């Protein structure tokens, strides 16, 4: 029997797991990654009969759900019943692409009481008899290393969202939950939030594991380090990357074939591939930056930036044959970091930013230009999500791992990690085989 057919059969009957499908992870991931490229928006009926429900809290545009949607193009497993985000534009984008109702609500309000949680579940027609996966990628800004001067503000509401999600997990009791955040989420500074949530998870029977990954290990043409946390009510293995540094996808792979544009120009057949009309003074600065990875020459550019540490990458060009730096919602602005095109004198278009995040061209963003860049920058890269989705599905359907498999598991994170972002990344590079 074809392994994918066997996977579907195991999912549909939801019996005790008696097989080990782990040897198929790499093959399954490669199929899902290719399927992601052909994504087009879904309608609700297309996933209604699929056996595993997916609810995406803090969904944003839906980057995490896209990884699960890619699997559906190979084998119909996941039913998307809701994405929830308090930003109305993001909520509409999710609804448009996954065929779900538009749910624009603050998760803090949903989590206030069991009654409110069940009101939400009734609204989305949640079926408690079906296996369920909850996604909870809380906004990362409250934990970001870029907010060090605010680190004394332990009561940032964004930090409390982690606790709110743990309360929702406890009430819904899903088969699997997934969380994503910046590496600093596991640091001394914020460990109180994760420890409180993890204690709640474990109290109701979940095994909880965490690790930090470079999205480039999953084919994303971008170096983006993120914490991934998975919980199941059985022993399981965490995801493992599929690409070595020599195999990382590059900026050229992602955007090298797009139509060249000058500032202010648009691709007539791709509305997202539109270059910002920079000021003439900005263009003159960009022209002085050497092509293909060059830095702003000393003494050039705005004087205000020369007096501030931490702005060494401003106006820097991306390198054609390396992954991009972390893409944020500032990607169109060369003055915000290394967001200048490798050879063209402009910042990145929304299409370029989306491709560097591994969004397929068929994904449809709602909103104005600022909204689109924000949704792209805040998203979990869909190819990273593919890796997580493949791992979660196969682990859920497989027998529990052996002692030997658990001993070989790619877990490198000891809690708490350092408060220093750079030291965390160096540690990962020194200990992980693929780094």
**Catalytic residue positions?**
140
Residues with Cβ within 8 Å of 60's Cβ and at least 6 positions away in sequence, in order, are: 85, 87, 90, 93, 94, 137, 375, 378, 379, 380
CB atoms within 10 A of CB 293: 16
Collapsing DSSP states into helix, strand and coil, what is residue 55? strand
Nearest to 348 by CA among 332, 336, 337, 330: 332
| Token pair of 28 as six digits | 């399954």
List C-alpha distances in Å: 256 to 31, 286, 320, 321: 23, 19, 8, 10
For tokens 């308090």, the residue is 86
What Rg do the C-alpha atoms of the chain give, in angstroms? 21
Chain Cα centroid distance, residue 383? 8
- Nearest alpha-carbon partner for 215 in 228, 224, 227: 224
Cβ atoms within 10 Å of 412's Cβ, excluding its own: 16
Q: Respond yes or no on whether the N-terminal peptide bond of residue 416 is cis (omega within 30° of 0).
A: yes
Residues 6+ apart with CB under 8 A from 69: 36, 39, 42, 78, 80, 98
d(CA 117, CA 84): 12
Count Cβ atoms below 10 Å from residue 288 Cβ, excluding itself. Answer: 14
Are the beta carbons of 400 and 235 closer than 8 angstroms? yes
Our measurement of the distance from residue 413's CA atom to the centroid of its chain's CA atoms, rounded to an integer in Å, reads 19
Nearest to 363 by CA among 373, 374, 353, 354: 354
Which of these, 215, 145, 188, 150, lies nearest to 356 by C-alpha position? 215
Q: Tokens 């949530």 map to which residue? A: 197
Torsion angles phi and psi, residue 8, rounded to 5: -60, -45
């Amino acid at each position: 029997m074809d392994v994918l057919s066997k996977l579907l059969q195991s999912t549909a009957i939801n019996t005790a797991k008696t097989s080990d499908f782990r040897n198929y992870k790499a093959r399954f991931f490669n199929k899902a990654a290719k399927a992601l490229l052909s994504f087009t928006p879904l309608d609700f009926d297309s996933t209604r009969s699929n056996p595993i429900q997916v609810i995406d809290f803090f969904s944003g545009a839906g980057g995490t759900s896209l990884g699960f949607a890619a699997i559906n193009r190979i084998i119909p497993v996941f039913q998307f019943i809701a994405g929830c985000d308090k930003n109305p534009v993001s909520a509409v984008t999710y609804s448009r692409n996954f065929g779900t109702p538009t749910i624009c609500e603050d998760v803090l309000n949903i989590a206030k009481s069991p009654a409110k949680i069940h009101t939400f579940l009734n609204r989305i027609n949640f079926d408690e008899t079906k296996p369920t996966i909850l996604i909870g990628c809380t906004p990362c800004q409250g934990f970001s290393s870029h907010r060090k001067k605010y680190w004394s503000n332990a009561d940032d509401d964004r930090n409390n969202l982690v606790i709110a999600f743990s309360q929702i997990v406890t009430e819904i009791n899903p088969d699997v939950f997934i969380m994503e955040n910046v590496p600093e989420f596991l640091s001394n500074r914020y460990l109180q939030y994760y420890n409180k949530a993890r204690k709640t998870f474990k109290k109701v029977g979940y095994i909880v594991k965490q690790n930090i990954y470079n999205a480039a290990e999953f084919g994303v043409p971008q170096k983006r380090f993120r914490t991934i946390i998975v919980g199941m009510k059985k022993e399981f293995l965490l995801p493992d990357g599929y690409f070595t540094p020599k195999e990382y996808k590059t900026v050229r792979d992602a955007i090298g074939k797009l139509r060249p544009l000058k500032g202010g120009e648009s691709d007539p057949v791709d509305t997202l591939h539109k270059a910002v009309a920079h000021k003439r003074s900005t263009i003159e600065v960009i022209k002085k930056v050497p092509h293909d990875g060059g830095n702003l020459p000393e003494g050039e550019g705005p004087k205000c930036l020369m007096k501030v540490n931490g702005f060494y990458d401003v106006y820097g060009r991306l390198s054609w044959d390396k992954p991009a730096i972390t893409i944020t919602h500032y990607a169109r602005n060369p003055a915000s970091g290394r967001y200048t095109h490798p050879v063209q004198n402009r910042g990145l278009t929304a299409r370029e930013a989306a491709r560097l995040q591994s969004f397929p061209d068929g994904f449809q963003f709602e909103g104005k230009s600022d909204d689109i860049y924000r949704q792209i920058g805040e998203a979990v890269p869909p190819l990273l999500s593919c890796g997580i989705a493949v791992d979660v599905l196969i682990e859920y359907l497989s027998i529990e791992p052996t002692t030997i498999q658990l001993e070989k598991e790619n877990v490198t994170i000891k809690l708490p990690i350092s408060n220093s972002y750079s030291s965390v990344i160096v540690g990962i590079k020194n200990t992980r085989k693929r780094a």
